[in-house]
A and B are shown apart, each in its own frame.
Chain A
Amino acid sequence: MLKSLLYWIYQKRWLLVAIVVGAALYHLPYPEGISKDGYRTLILAIMVVILIISEAIPLPGIALFIAVLQVSFAIAEPSEVAQSFMSDAVFFIMGSLMLAVAIVRQGLDARLTLMILTLTGNRVRSIMWGFFVISLLLTSFIGEHTVVAMLLPVALTLVRSTSEEKDDVCDITKLLLFAIAYGSIIGSIGTPSGGARNAIIINYLSDFGLAKVSYLRWMAYAFPVMLVEIPLAGWLLSRAFKPECERLDGAVKKLKSKVAEAGPLTNQQILAIILFVVIFLGWVFFSARFGLGVIALAGVFLYLAAGLVQWQEINQRTNWGVVLFFAAAISLGVQLKNTGAALWVAQQILTATGGLLEQFVLAQYTLVIAFTAAVANVMSSSATVAVLGPLFMNFGGNPVLLGLATAVSSAFGYLTTVGAPAGMIIAATGLVNARDFIRVGWRITLASIAVLVLALLFYWPHI
Chain B
Amino acid sequence: MRFLVAIRSSTYSEPTLQIGSAIANAFSADLSVVYVGDRPKELLSGGVHLARDALLNWEINHPGVDVLRWAYRRLQEWKFLDPALEQFDPTNLVQDTDRVRVILPHLHGEKIRLIFREGDPVDQLRKETEFRDYILTIVGGGSRKRLTRQLVQFVDTSILFVKNFDPDWNYKLLLCVDDSQATKRAVVFGTRVAQHFKAPVDLLTVSKTQRFGKGYRGAAQWAQRYMDRMQIPYEQHFKTGDPATVFAESAGTDHIIIMGKSKMNPLKAFFKGTKPGDTVLRAYGPVILVR
A positions within 8 Å CB-CB of B: 2-3, 6-7, 10-11, 52, 55, 58-59, 97, 100-101, 104, 107, 109, 144-146, 148-150, 152-154, 156-157, 160, 317-319, 321-322, 325, 380, 382-383, 417-418, 420-422, 424-425, 427-431
Cβ B51 vs Cβ A145 within 8 A = yes
Most buried by A among B51, B63, B153: B51
Chain B hits for A10, CB < 8 A: 150, 154, 270
| Given A149-B54, A152-B51, A428-B40, 5 extra CB contacts under 8 A | A146-B50, A149-B50, A317-B53, A380-B43, A418-B43
Cβ A428 vs Cβ B154 within 8 A = no
Cα distance, A157 to B51, chains bound together (Å): 14
Q: With A3-B154, A153-B58, A156-B58 as known contacts, state yes or no: A428 contacts B42, CB within 8 Å.
A: no
Cβ A7 vs Cβ B52 within 8 A = no
Q: With A6-B267, A380-B43 as known contacts, state yes or no: A101 contacts B50, CB within 8 Å.
A: yes
Q: With A145-B51, A152-B51, A317-B49 as known contacts, state yes or no: A380 contacts B58, CB within 8 Å.
A: no
Cα distance, A335 to B153, chains bound together (Å): 44
For residue B48, CB closer than 8 A to chain A, the reply is yes
Q: With A109-B54, A428-B52 as known contacts, state yes or no: A160 contacts B46, CB within 8 Å.
A: no
Q: With A104-B50, A153-B58 as known contacts, state yes or no: A3 contacts B43, CB within 8 Å.
A: no
Other-chain contact of A149, B44, B45, B51 (Cβ < 8 Å) = B51
Other-chain contact of B42, A3, A55, A145, A148 (Cβ < 8 Å) = A55
Give the B interface residue count (CB, 8 A).
32
Other-chain contact of B154, A7, A153, A383, A430 (Cβ < 8 Å) = A7
Tell me how many residue pairs across A and B have CB atoms closer than 8 Å.
114
Cα distance, A85 to B285, chains bound together (Å): 56
Other-chain contact of B46, A2, A6, A145 (Cβ < 8 Å) = A145
Other-chain contact of B47, A3, A145, A431 (Cβ < 8 Å) = A145
Chain A hits for B48, CB < 8 A: 421, 424-425, 428
**Nearest CB in chain B: distance from A276 CB, A:** 16
Cα distance, A122 to B3, chains bound together (Å): 49
**Interface class of chain B by DSSP:** helix
Cβ A156 vs Cβ B267 within 8 A = no
Chain A hits for B57, CB < 8 A: 107, 153
Other-chain contact of B60, A58, A160, A319 (Cβ < 8 Å) = A160
Cβ B266 vs Cβ A153 within 8 A = no
Chain B hits for A146, CB < 8 A: 50
Cβ A322 vs Cβ B51 within 8 A = no
For residue B73, CB closer than 8 A to chain A, the reply is no
Other-chain contact of A429, B63, B150, B153 (Cβ < 8 Å) = B63
For residue B90, CB closer than 8 A to chain A, the reply is no
Contact with A along B209-232 (1 / 0, CB 8 A): 000000000000000000000000
Chain A hits for B154, CB < 8 A: 3, 7, 10
Cβ B46 vs Cβ A318 within 8 A = yes
For residue B37, CB closer than 8 A to chain A, the reply is yes
Chain A hits for B270, CB < 8 A: 6, 10
Cα distance, A405 to B40, chains bound together (Å): 28
**Nearest CB in chain B: distance from A167 CB, A:** 9
Q: With A3-B266, A11-B123, A383-B43 as known contacts, state yes or no: A157 contacts B60, CB within 8 Å.
A: yes
Cβ A157 vs Cβ B47 within 8 A = no
Cα distance, A52 to B43, chains bound together (Å): 9
For residue B106, CB closer than 8 A to chain A, the reply is no
Cα distance, A193 to B37, chains bound together (Å): 33
Cβ A59 vs Cβ B58 within 8 A = no
Other-chain contact of A3, B50, B52, B55, B153 (Cβ < 8 Å) = B153
**Interface class of chain A by DSSP:** helix
**Nearest CB in chain B: distance from A207 CB, A:** 23
Chain A hits for B44, CB < 8 A: 145, 380, 418, 420-421, 424-425
Chain B hits for A321, CB < 8 A: 42
Q: With A7-B154, A149-B51, A322-B46 as known contacts, state yes or no: A430 contacts B63, CB within 8 Å.
A: yes
**Nearest CB in chain A: distance from B54 CB, A:** 5
Give chain B interface residues in 157-215, CB to chain A under 8 Å: none
Q: Look across to chain A and name the residue whose beta carbon is closest to the beta carbon of B123.
A: A11
For residue B41, CB closer than 8 A to chain A, the reply is yes
Q: With A152-B55, A156-B58, A160-B60 as known contacts, state yes or no: A430 contacts B50, CB within 8 Å.
A: no
Q: Look across to chain B and name the residue whose beta carbon is closest to the beta carbon of A58.
A: B42
Cα distance, A154 to B55, chains bound together (Å): 9
Cα distance, A399 to B46, chains bound together (Å): 32
Cα distance, A424 to B60, chains bound together (Å): 17
Chain B hits for A2, CB < 8 A: 265-267
Q: With A104-B53, A149-B50, A160-B60 as known contacts, state yes or no: A59 contacts B42, CB within 8 Å.
A: yes
Cβ B50 vs Cβ A317 within 8 A = yes
For residue B239, CB closer than 8 A to chain A, the reply is no
Cα distance, A422 to B45, chains bound together (Å): 11
Chain A hits for B282, CB < 8 A: none
- List 20 A–B pairs whose Cβ atoms lie within 8 Å, in order of A's numbering: A2-B265, A3-B153, A6-B266, A10-B270, A100-B46, A104-B53, A145-B50, A152-B54, A153-B58, A154-B58, A319-B45, A322-B46, A383-B43, A421-B48, A422-B47, A424-B40, A424-B45, A428-B40, A429-B63, A430-B9
Cβ B63 vs Cβ A418 within 8 A = no
Chain B hits for A160, CB < 8 A: 60
**Nearest CB in chain A: distance from B119 CB, A:** 10
Q: With A7-B154, A153-B57 as known contacts, state yes or no: A325 contacts B40, CB within 8 Å.
A: no
Q: Look across to chain B and name the residue whose beta carbon is closest to the beta carbon of A60.
A: B42
**Nearest CB in chain B: distance from A97 CB, A:** 6
Cα distance, A325 to B40, chains bound together (Å): 16
Q: Look across to chain A and name the residue whose beta carbon is closest to the beta carbon of B270.
A: A6
Cα distance, A382 to B154, chains bound together (Å): 36
Most buried by B among A160, A382, A425: A425
**Nearest CB in chain A: distance from B76 CB, A:** 18
Cβ B58 vs Cβ A157 within 8 A = yes
